[in-house]
Amino acid sequence: MAKIAVLGYGVVGSGTVEVFYKNKENLEKKAGEPLDIKYILDVRDFPNSPYADKFVKDFDVILNDPEVTVIAEVIGGLKFSYGYVKSALEAGKSVVTSNKELVAAKGAELLQIAKDKNVNFFFEASVGGGIPIIKPIHACLEANEIDEIAGILNGTTNFILTKMIREGMDFGEALKIAQELGYAEHDPTADVEGIDACRKICILASLAFGRHVYPENVHTEGITKVTLSDVEYVESYGAKIKLIGCARREDNDEISIGVFPAVIKDESQLAGVNDVFNAILVRGDATGDVVFYGKGAGKLPTASAVVSDIVSAVKHSDTSRSLTWQDSTQDFIRPFDRFDCAHYIRISANDDSAVKETVKNIFGDVQFLVTKNQSKGELAFVTSVMTEQEVKTKCDDVAKQGAEVTARIRVLDY
Amino acid sequence: MAKIAVLGYGVVGSGTVEVFYKNKENLEKKAGEPLDIKYILDVRDFPNSPYADKFVKDFDVILNDPEVTVIAEVIGGLKFSYGYVKSALEAGKSVVTSNKELVAAKGAELLQIAKDKNVNFFFEASVGGGIPIIKPIHACLEANEIDEIAGILNGTTNFILTKMIREGMDFGEALKIAQELGYAEHDPTADVEGIDACRKICILASLAFGRHVYPENVHTEGITKVTLSDVEYVESYGAKIKLIGCARREDNDEISIGVFPAVIKDESQLAGVNDVFNAILVRGDATGDVVFYGKGAGKLPTASAVVSDIVSAVKHSDTSRSLTWQDSTQDFIRPFDRFDCAHYIRISANDDSAVKETVKNIFGDVQFLVTKNQSKGELAFVTSVMTEQEVKTKCDDVAKQGAEVTARIRVLDY
């Protein structure tokens, strides 16, 4: 009999308890032994809950109960979680978590403790909600060298961009609807500025490339500057604007990594990912591109990933030491100035042949884009592949010719 | 040190050896111990192979070598494979295989032997080539009751349909190109008649619903009757024709299962799956729809799945007994006459209001489709949801009114 404790009875916590008891019989078959939730930790009281007798307010009750072998941390944030998870692992208990902030900030340290103590630290729910992605990368694609990972990792921003693309809403309107529907928080910063997506690409990159990538070292841009005008130009290019987190293996044992709005061609499996859905593309040297798609958030999808990790933690009570990565100085992260890709650029300038000549002289071979509602005095085009540094210099050169660059969005090729 | 034997040195077998040695160091880290391939079984001679010293022609050499603990069967078919795999499992060796015919025909029996002998029988490569699907369903989505699985499971037919849809080729032309490119066999029956896809949906359904589904009990139609005219009508409906294998949980503990060309709306994640790519949609009660996409065949993708299973078999040398399903009488498979969905129907009849009235009288509310190249004397429409039995009766009724039904394709809602 494995006894479990759930830390936090918010949306994901209550979902975890719900999914656990709904599928208990089947989960026990999978785990190979009886399972039960012994404690639920929450500062609030739930006197009318069917699980009222399980609630505790003191984490030490859980920590000091040798019967508890697996702890599910679904509180979120770092304030309480980090201390709880660390002491649980140190006490020889396995931990599963949905907390991307915790894994992105402290993953290497916590994985090392888990390894030292011969227990598990699993975090399937931290990326992609109910989409299986951590375990497939770790336990299904291990015969590949992973060359790139790219994903639509944040449902809120994907919902907003979908509204802009499909219904011609501007960013502010679309955000307001996302807030009304409960997809965006009252303070939407973590979503719309790319912070949430950044934590997730850090976790995926750490897993795929074996060294911890800390969020503060990742170039991160949100979607607040994406305009309807850009959406339309990009549409004329046969593409969509998506908020992408991406990481790729470079030469010299370096990686490139970033989070930013990107132009994605309609043929890509990522272009058709709409609303609050997420998708993650993994490019392996043997298997080619594999894409995982589904609901990236939500009570039951996320809870189902937490519960699956609970079963794995019980079942592989001593066999998952290979799920790990090294802490590392961050010098393997290539400076973002050297990131190379094509660029969509919009400039304020007359659409006449002289300006076009100037653009060609500076950017070389470009593809000009035309839309129905194109403003006079505006020109948009897509460049060939060049580094950040190169494109910035060229944008400065264009500005010197009196044409202001009003938008630049990277074009990715997935 | 785990010693491995590879049975068969064809496309997948040589790929398996290649991927294994390319990634050996990393695989050993994942497995937690040194690994090596000790034998390769093939009837042919490979004197110039770098692995020449590993080749044997007598399976008993492998069977009787107690050092060999994991066997990878990549011969295909049943003739040799079944006996080899069965005796390997009975001898207490774990087996991994890419052989969908074997798993679809003998899975329940082989899984039972593996369970009795406390060894592993893994088959990730048997469905979806390099796409992780077996392990994600078994070990990531176990907190879900799976309601439906539907997939584009055969790359050859998807390539042919893509050519028909994108380039307006007819079936025969597209098949010829597929053969020239090596995607289709000289005798393409197993692909174009849906037999290959049927084996794969049987494996997925057995895994998802826990009881073995044998191919001979599955309604199976291929794509040979799909015409360009149907492709066009369906396009006007905002949809694509895809060869789908699908299985769903019904009431009374029954399942529905079938393989057939189906009309898939463009919004579906399955509609944008083109060329030789595969995709599998899994609908769970907690996680909603999850889709797995990638190359469903090919030397290296398939080999990477085989190698991943080898590592899992070494690592979880006694912990995967939960990957199993029951043998079963087939009475839980609902007769296909009760399968219900909407239907695309094309009839030879004048496009006049009298005929349309007749259609409406018989089929109820329908949506008529119009194309640019529509032949005179032809009418196409989409019905509401009804069972096979109902739609057949209605087609007979239409025929009695002098209008021949020239095509009927099921419309699925994924």
Are B246 and B258 contacting, i.e. CB atoms less than 8 angstroms apart?
yes
CA distance B319 to chain A (A): 7
Task: Tell me the C-alpha distance between A363 and A361, whole Å.
Answer: 6
Burial of A44 (0-12, 13-18, 19+ CB in 10 A): exposed
Catalytic site residue B176? no
CB pairs under 8 A between A and B: 177
Does pLDDT of B351 surpass 70? no
- What pLDDT is attached to residue B15? 97
Does pLDDT of B254 surpass 60? yes
Nearest to A98 by CA among A126, A77, A61: A126
Does pLDDT of B317 surpass 80? no
- List of chain B residues whose C-beta atoms are within 8 Å of the C-beta of residue A149: none
Task: Tell me the C-alpha distance between B151 and B264, whole Å.
Answer: 11
Q: CB A316 to CB B311 under 8 A?
A: no
- List of chain A residues whose C-beta atoms are within 8 Å of the C-beta of residue B272: 269, 272
pTM of this prediction?
0.95
pLDDT in tens, B143-157: 999 999 999 999 999
Q: CB A292 to CB B291 under 8 A?
A: yes
Q: What percent of chain B has pLDDT over 70?
A: 99
- Residue indicated by tokens 């897993």: A207
Closest CA in chain A for residue B124: A140
**Strand runs (DSSP E) across B210-352, as ranges?**
219-220, 239-249, 255-265, 277-284, 288-295, 340-348
Interface check for B392 against chain A (CB to CB < 8 A): the answer is: no
Are A73 and A8 contacting, i.e. CB atoms less than 8 angstroms apart?
yes
Best residue in A158, A165, A287 for a mutation probing chain B (most B CBs within 10 Å):
A287
Task: Tell me the C-alpha distance between B65 and B296, whole Å.
Answer: 34
Query: What is the b/e burial string over B19-48, where b = at least 16 CB atoms within 10 angstroms of the residue's CB?
Result: bbebbeebbbbbbeeebebbbbbbeeeeee
Closest CA in chain B for residue A138: B30
Residue in B136, B286, B322 closest to A19 by CB: B286
Interface check for A115 against chain B (CB to CB < 8 A): the answer is: no
Two structure tokens written together for A309: 């990790």
Q: Which of residues 275-314 of A touch B (CB under 8 A)?
A: 284-295, 298, 300-301, 303-305, 307-308, 311-312
- What pLDDT is attached to residue A304? 96
Interface check for A19 against chain B (CB to CB < 8 A): the answer is: yes
pLDDT in tens, B156-215: 999 999 999 999 999 999 999 999 999 999 999 999 999 999 999 999 999 999 999 999
Structure confidence at residue B16 as a pLDDT band (50, 70, 90): very high
Structure confidence at residue B321 as a pLDDT band (50, 70, 90): low
The complex's ipTM works out to 0.94
CA distances, A352 to each of A357, A378, A384, B348 (Å): 9, 10, 21, 55
Interface check for B326 against chain A (CB to CB < 8 A): the answer is: no
Among residues A54, A100, A106, A200, the one annotated as catalytic is A200
Section B378-385 average pLDDT: 96
Q: Which of residues 125-154 of A touch B (CB under 8 A)?
A: 129-132, 135-136, 139-145
Interface check for A265 against chain B (CB to CB < 8 A): the answer is: no
Other C-beta atoms lying within 10 Å of the C-beta of residue A178: 23
Closest CA in chain A for residue B273: A269
Q: CB A132 to CB B136 under 8 A?
A: yes
Residue in A129, A269, A295 closest to B293 by CB: A269
Among residues B200, B240, B242, B394, the one annotated as catalytic is B200
- What pLDDT is attached to residue B239? 98
Two structure tokens written together for A73: 């941390």
**Domains in chain A with CATH codes:** 2-129+300-315 (3.40.50.720), 135-295 (3.30.360.10), 340-412 (3.30.70.3220)
Q: CB B142 to CB A311 under 8 A?
A: yes
- Mutual angle of helices B81-90 and B100-116, in 10-degree steps: 10
- List of chain A residues whose C-beta atoms are within 8 Å of the C-beta of residue B286: 19, 130, 300-301, 303-304
Phi, psi (degrees; rounded to nearest 5) at B78:
-110, -25
- What pLDDT is attached to residue B377? 87
pLDDT tens for chain A, 414 residues: list them. Answer: 999 999 999 999 999 999 999 999 999 998 989 999 999 999 999 999 999 999 999 999 999 999 999 999 999 999 999 999 999 999 999 999 999 999 999 999 999 999 999 999 999 999 999 999 999 999 899 999 999 999 999 999 999 999 999 999 999 999 999 999 999 999 999 999 999 999 999 999 999 999 999 999 999 999 999 999 999 999 999 999 999 999 999 999 999 999 999 999 999 999 999 999 999 999 999 999 999 999 988 999 999 999 999 999 998 765 566 788 999 899 999 999 999 999 999 999 876 788 899 999 999 999 999 998 888 889 999 999 999 999 999 999 999 988 899 999 999 999
pLDDT, averaged across chain B: 95
